[in-house]
Amino acid sequence: MPDLGLDVLLKGKNLARLLGGLGVAMRISMIAVVISIPLGIILGALMTWKNPVIKAILRVYLEVIRIMPQMVLLFLFYFGTTRAFGIDISGEMASIVVFTLWGTAEMSDLVRGALIAIPVHQYESAEALGFNRMQTYRYIIIPQTVRRLIPLSINLITRMIKTTSLILMIGVVEVLKVGQQIIEANRMVSPNAAFGIYLAIFMLYFFACWPISMLARYLENRWRV
């Protein structure tokens, strides 16, 4: 078996540091997910309304966030807020804000897509049965939308977890940065450590994202009509 430099993982506190780095990545992405999913659902519902003002505002928000690379957004919020307003926010806070804004925008578009995919006769039937707007959403539209949304939002959540690898650019030491630090600290004694460390990081990301996929599959099966 080729030398993968896996022994480096067991040196000192290296393994604990990698797990700590994963903890940072998961904490940031999960806080962002928890905030952006409900916000995204509300905004997505608003986007299907006929009010042109709301529609325009949300459209601009969505496009701005979607067009800008996450890296640019991170720099804007970390360094930009300090330059413009003198507010000094931590790298972790800036990451949470950017990931929440991004997650909300993406989620709202997924919700909008799922909502307009519901055939018009569903709304019309509800109206015919005397449901008001709230009731129509609560009992007819949302249950159908949620089912369509599960696979889409799982995709978004795992993307958010993996995109945390960018936050090292604003000084947040997450799992990838810890990995690079370990590789560099050992580049003399174990030059092959890169393989072992990247393999370990791959496994860590996998085990972070896999349970989420499993949960999605479980929910899809349970809610199958």
Partner 1 sequence: MKRIVTIILTAVLALALAACGSKSSDSSTTGTVYRTLDQIKEDGTINIGVFSDKNPFGYVDENGDYQGYDVYFAARLAKDLGVKVNYVSTEAANRIEYLQTGKVDVILANFTVTEERAEEVDFALPYMNVALGVVSPDANVIKSLDDWKAEDEMIVISGTTAETYLTANYPDIKLQKYDTYANAKNALENGNGVAWANDNTEVIAFALQNKGYTVGIPELGSKDTIAPAVSKGNTTLLEAINNEIKSLKDEKFFHKDYEATLLDTYGKDYEESLVVEGGEVK
Tokens of 45: 């519902």
Q: Residue with structure tokens 């709301």?
A: 54
Asked if 81 and 17 count as a contact pair (C-beta separation under 8 A), the reply is no
The sign of the torsion formed by the CA atoms of 175, 176, 177, 181 equals positive
Complex with partner 1: residue 3 or 220, whichever CB lies closer: 3
**According to CB under 8 A, which residues from 182 to 201 bind partner 1?**
182-188, 191, 194
Assess contact for 191 and 217: CB atoms under 8 A.
no
Q: What whole-number distance in Å separates Cα of residue 185 and Cα of residue 173?
A: 15
147 binds partner 1 (CB under 8 A): no
Please tell me whether residue 135 binds partner 1 under the rule CB under 8 A.
no
- State which of residues 42, 117, 214, 215 lies at the interface with partner 1 (CB under 8 A): 42
Measured distance CA(151)–CA(116) in Å, rounded: 17
Q: State which of residues 19, 35, 169, 212 lies at the interface with partner 1 (CB under 8 A).
A: 169
* Cα-Cα-Cα-Cα dihedral sign, residues 116, 211, 104, 179: negative
Number of residues that bind partner 1 (CB under 8 A): 46
Binders in 63-122 for partner 1, by CB under 8 A: 64, 75-77, 79-86, 88, 101
When the beta carbons of 107 and 170 are compared against partner 1, the nearer one is: 170
Residues in 22-41 that interact with partner 1 by CB under 8 A: 39
Q: Which of 34, 54, 56, 117 binds partner 1 (CB under 8 A)?
A: 54
* Whether 31 contacts 39, CB under 8 Å: no
**Assigned token pair, 126:** 């509800």
- Token digits of residue 214: 């499993």
CB 162 within 8 A of CB 209: yes
Q: Applying CB under 8 A, which of residues 126, 170, 204, 216 lies at the interface with partner 1? A: 170
Residue with tokens 């790298």: 91
Is 180 a residue that touches partner 1 (CB under 8 A)? Answer: yes
Nearer to partner 1 by Cβ, of 146 and 173: the residue is 173
Give the interface with partner 1 as residue ranges (CB under 8 A). 11-14, 17, 39, 42-43, 46, 54, 57-58, 60-61, 64, 75-77, 79-86, 88, 101, 134, 168-171, 173, 177, 180-188, 191, 194
